[in-house]
Structure 1
Amino acid sequence: MSTEPQVPTHTDRPLSVALSDTATETDVSPASNNVDKLDPVEKVDEISIVETLDRKLAKQIKIQRILIFLGLQLALFLAALDGTIVSTALPRIGSDFNQMAIVSWVATAYILTFDAFQPLFSKFSDIFGRKWIMIFGIVVFLIGSVLCGAAQSMIMLIVSRAIAGIGGAGIFSMVFVIITDLVPLEQRGSYQGLINAVFALSSVFGPLIGGSFTDYVTWRWNFYINLPIGALALAVLMYYLKSDIPKGSMSDKLKRIDYVGTVIVLAFATLFLLAMNFGGQTFPWKSAAVIVPLVLTAILVGLLAVVESKFSKEPLMPPRLFKNRTVLSILITNWFFGITFYSMVYYLPIYFQVVRADSAMWSGIRLIPMQMVVCVGATMAGAFISKTNIYKPLIIVGMALLTLSVGLLSLFDENTGFSKIYGFTVIGGGGLGLLFSSTIIGLQASVEARDIAVVTGLGNFSRILGGALGVAISSAVLNSSLTQDLPGKIPQEYVGLIIASSEYVRHGLPAEHLAATLGVYVKALRLIWYVTTPMCGVGFIASNFIRSRKVGETKVFEKTMSQENASAIQEDGIITGASAEDVKTSQDTVMIEVADAAASSAIESTTCRR
């Protein structure tokens, strides 16, 4: 009498990400030793049954994967959109609250918490599971959005933006981490390309959407628009993204948190961003209000290095990552990439609105050609990486194009033709598109599986922290230049009004002083690009130190997986949190990692009848 094949359910295996509540994990192995003992006819019949179920389940898995992917894209769209949607609305917001001097904090508060919490959420997802960190992020983001829309004072708006930034950090970090769980490294380029295209699209479409709401409805809808879209993303991910809580009691998980490292990271990121926002605007650069936070930042970074290397059992930022040449080079590249990208997103609209007299909406429309190229570039870069497994040349070319574009922006004046403007910004769009996809893939391909979530968070952290620095430097350069040059060109009574509100230039300044004021504005904006161009050049130099490796050359899965953090992915199935042994395959073994519970019952009943 022949022995029938077994259908193990592996209910004890920890899962971090599965597909839906209607899908349970099932391994079907028709080529097992038990099947080998069957008669030839019976063996072929059993394999045929499993292969038929395999095809049906593969189709179901693909559909659910697409829905999860769309839910992730919706959530990412909101988090990225909120980073730039207020850029064209800031002049109106500042005027409405009569607080133009601190209106930049509406943008800075979001960027500050959005950036500071990136590495935290990435690490926490290893401890508490991906899904619930993602859900937490969406809920907090929506709460912050409601408070922003209802804000009755500038202080309330700034605090609400900080709350939304915390939620945005959870969303942003988890989207890129969950994609690593869903898709094998070698195929990840195409998916990351699409994800980064959505990020780029929302980031650069933010000024257009924000300007449209500001001009035709109210700036408050820049925040209320998040509610219906966020609710849809929340519903999709709650239903289709199933996350089994990692093993261990809650007390054990709480013990794994690097509390000291967490506090230090939040403290130094906050102090650094405060100094950047104060310098040259609220306080002089030489004042204690700027110097003290910068000194404390340096001290805390040094303290973090000691704590993480000597005392932390499970470091928030493992020191080994910074000893990896490729990781360090990409993080530095990302830093200067962020400086340039956010400077362009925030100060090109200022050029269009002040110098070219465009409305907030039209200042966003002017950026559409660049936006389209960013999206196409990100998608093509992802496809190229999936096809060739090469990422270094894309990073180098991307930084080169971005540096060239920023340098060309310094040629803009009151009479620059729009064909030239579109051409110069499109060059930058091409560089941005290449960088969005290639930098994340490069980081993930250079580390072990246990470090993928952390290094992904660090990549985002470095780029966004650089972006906050870029906005602060650009703002300081603009205000310093206006403060220095305007008094010699126009009566002193108008200087303070122009610095307090850029809208005053086109909607209040007497016509006889307009030409002189525009000349000063053009010079100030050129200084921004003069400062940004060499910084971008440093990023280009750093990109050349990335090791020339192909995706997959670093043994991410087979030999470096830990029992708790490994992610094994087959073509049409997902196992996250499984051990390396669980993902070994052979030519005569069929593995269906996520299968319908009914399918398991069908196989068992069929074999019993035989």
Structure 2
Amino acid sequence: MVQVMLIDLLPLHRRAVYMSYMNLVSTVAVVSGPLVGGAITDHWLWRWCFYLNIPLCVVIAGVCLLTVRGSPAGGTAREKLARIDFAGALLLLAGLVLVLLGLTWGGKDYPWASPAVAVTLVLGVGLLAAFVVVEARYAREPIIPMRLFTDLPLAASLASQFFLGAGITLTVLYLPVYFTVVHGASSTTAGLYLLPYLVGMTVVGLVVGQLVSRLDMYRPFLWAGLAVMTVAAGVLSIVQPDTRLVVVVVLTGLFGVGSGLGMLPLMIATQATCEVRDTATAATLALHLRNVGSIVGIAMVGTIFNNRLIAGLVALAAEFPEDSALIADSINNATIVWNGSLPPAIQARVIACFVHALKATFIANAPFVGAAFATSLFVRHRSLARDSPAAQTSKAAELLPADSV
């Protein structure tokens, strides 16, 4: 909704600057959250990570109620309800849930060829196909207008959003696991090691927001950012247990710089390549696809990580039966790896199992970012000043007869 409000309040050529401000505030929150949460987990009760959100949400709700204003929609309550695409919403939700369940269960809770996985995946894909039919033919005001996918540049930017969401998974979820297991970092310290990523993304994003607005271009920044992210993700896939910590932190910061270069221009490209009437829908769809991409990435990459880790630790437990219980517990409690519970020889082997599983996730993650870069190559340039007052005046003048001008 913040994106929609920015679209409603600002012309396209000014949005990049204010979106960079919004990203700054969001990044400060992202930096603060893990640090505070890590400190609470290390020194207090982890449940307070959830309890403290309650007063924060109360403050947010109060601010919104007091400051956000809007014109009420016309029509009766019955007419407003009739405009809501309930069928599309239900099909989309059910289809996504079933597909994600199948991806999460496969190879971990059930074999990939089991009926549970096959049925959920088939039903999920079928419901998503039905969603497309409903949106294209029957929905009065579809949640996702299918016409957005008929334009190649716009469809390319939306696809890039999906792949980018999946590609950020490793930074958010699995690099802290690497810092904790391999380098014995606490939850707080692991959060600090992510600061180069967050700071790089924020600082570069602020600069890029100004440049996009002033230079009236976004594709060079978009391509450069996604290319840097692809390279950083690829190099991270060759980390070893003895890789120096500073190398991984630098690569994490490089990934953040690429994110700052690419993410904001990609959102601007999505808004610039669509029709004006579809701007709000395209922007929210882009965020939705990025979130869905993150969920799909978590499901797929998480399955790869769990399968590799469990296979390695099961083999190790069979080799050292006297410590099999501790080895098995390390699957769900990584602190066992570095708190001195395991003999040094076994500890090194367990760390090697974790690194082997993490390498598999990094290898699986790199193609997602590469796909985001590849699809972004089809994004076209469109002037950001087309909806400025001067542009609107010029367009109106072109439509008037010469003598009227």
TM exceeding 0.5: yes
Give unpaired runs (5+ residues) of structure 2: 397-405
User: Shift in Å at residue 248 of structure 1?
Assistant: 1.5
User: Which of 378, 385, 392 is the equivalent residue of 2:212?
Assistant: 385
Question: Is residue 189 of structure 2 the alignment partner of residue 362 of structure 1?
Answer: yes
- For residue 204 of structure 1, report the CA deviation from its aligned partner: 5.2
Match of 1:227 in 2: 54
Q: Does 1:544 align with 2:377?
A: yes
Structure 1 residue corresponding to 2:288, chosen from 461, 466, 469: 461
Most deviating of 346-355 and 202-211:
202-211
1:273 pairs, out of 84, 100, 106, with: 100
* Aligned-residue offset at 1:287: 2.1
Alignment correspondent of 1:371: 198
| CA distance in structure 2 between the partners assigned to 1:324 and 1:220 by the alignment | 47
> CA, structure 1 residues 225+383, in 2 after alignment: closer, same or farther (shift >3 Å)?
farther
Counterpart of 1:444 (choices 271, 288, 295) is: 271
Structure 2 residue aligned with 1:48: none
Aligned Cα root-mean-square deviation (Å): 2.5
* Distance in 2 between residues matched to 1:202 and 1:395, nearest whole Å: 24
Distance in 1 between the 2:17 and 2:388 partners? 19
Q: Distance in 1 between matches of 2:288 and 2:114?
A: 28
Looking at structure 1, the residues matched to 175 and 193 of structure 2 have their Cα atoms a distance apart, in angstroms, of 9
- Cα distance in structure 1, aligned partners of 2:33 and 2:201: 14
Is the Cα contact below 8 Å between 1:338 and 1:463 reproduced in 2? yes
3-state DSSP of counterpart to 1:416? coil
Q: Does 1:526 align with 2:353?
A: no
Which residue in 2 is equivalent to 1:496?
A: 328
Partner secondary structure for residue 273 of structure 2: coil
Which residue of the partner structure matches residue 401 of structure 2? none
- Residue 197 (structure 1) aligned with residue 24 (structure 2): yes
Q: Is the 8 A contact 2:171 2:252 kept in 1?
A: no
What does residue 425 of structure 1 align with? 252
Task: Work out whether 1:207 is the aligned partner of 2:37.
Answer: no
Offset from partner CA, 1:374-428 (integer Å, 9 cap, x none):
1112212211111122122222112111111111212323332232122211110
Give TM-score, length-normalised by structure 2.
Answer: 0.89
- Which among 146, 149, 172 is matched to residue 319 of structure 1? 146
8 Å CA contact retained: 2:110, 2:116: yes
How many residue pairs were aligned? 390
Distance 2:197 2:6 in 1: 26
Cα 1:343–1:387 change in 2 (3 A) is same
Asked if 1 retains the 8 angstrom alpha-carbon contact of 2:85 and 2:143, the reply is yes
Distance 1:477 1:447 in 2: 36
Choose 443-452 or 363-372, whichever is displaced more.
443-452
State the percentage of identical aligned residues.
32
What SS does structure 2 have at the residue aligned with 1:482? Answer: helix
What corresponds to 1:247 in structure 2? 74
CA drift of 1:205 comes to 4.7
Q: In the alignment, is the contact (CA less than 8 A) between 1:449 and 1:557 conserved in 2?
A: no
Residue 321 of structure 1 deviates from its aligned partner by 0.4
Report if aligned partners of 1:449, 1:556 keep a CA contact under 8 Å in 2: no
Q: In 2, distance between residues paired with 1:434 and 1:201? A: 18
Mark the CA change 1:445 to 1:369 in structure 2 (over 3 Å): closer, same or farther: same
Which structure shows the higher helix fraction? Answer: 2
Which residue is equivalent to 2:399?
Answer: none
The answer to whether the 8 Å contact 2:273/2:380 transfers is no
Distance in 1 separating the partners of 2:18 and 2:98? 36
1:558 Cα offset (Å): 11
Deviation string, structure 1 residues 448-507 (Cα, Å, up to 9, x no partner): 333222212211111111111211222212221122223443425244322233233234
Structure 1 distance, partners of 2:199, 2:15, is 22
Cα distance in structure 1, aligned partners of 2:188 and 2:152 = 43
Tell me the alpha carbon deviations over residues 293-322 of structure 1, each in whole angstroms, 9 at most, x when there is no partner: 221222122212211111112111111101
Amino acid of the structure 2 residue aligned with 1:539 = A
Of 500, 513, 521 in structure 1, the residue corresponding to residue 346 of structure 2 is: 513
Cα 1:220/1:556, change in 2 over 3 Å: farther
TM-score (norm 1): 0.60
Distance in 1, matches of 2:43 and 2:80, equals 49
From 148, 156, 165, the equivalent of 1:338 is 165
Q: Residues 542 and 462 (structure 1 numbering): CA distance in 2 closer, same or farther, change over 3 Å?
A: same
Q: Is the 8 A contact 1:398 1:431 kept in 2?
A: yes
Judge conservation of contact 2:313–2:328 (CA < 8 Å) in 1.
no
With over 3 angstroms needed to count, the CA separation of the structure-2 counterparts of 1:282 and 1:197, relative to structure 1, is: farther
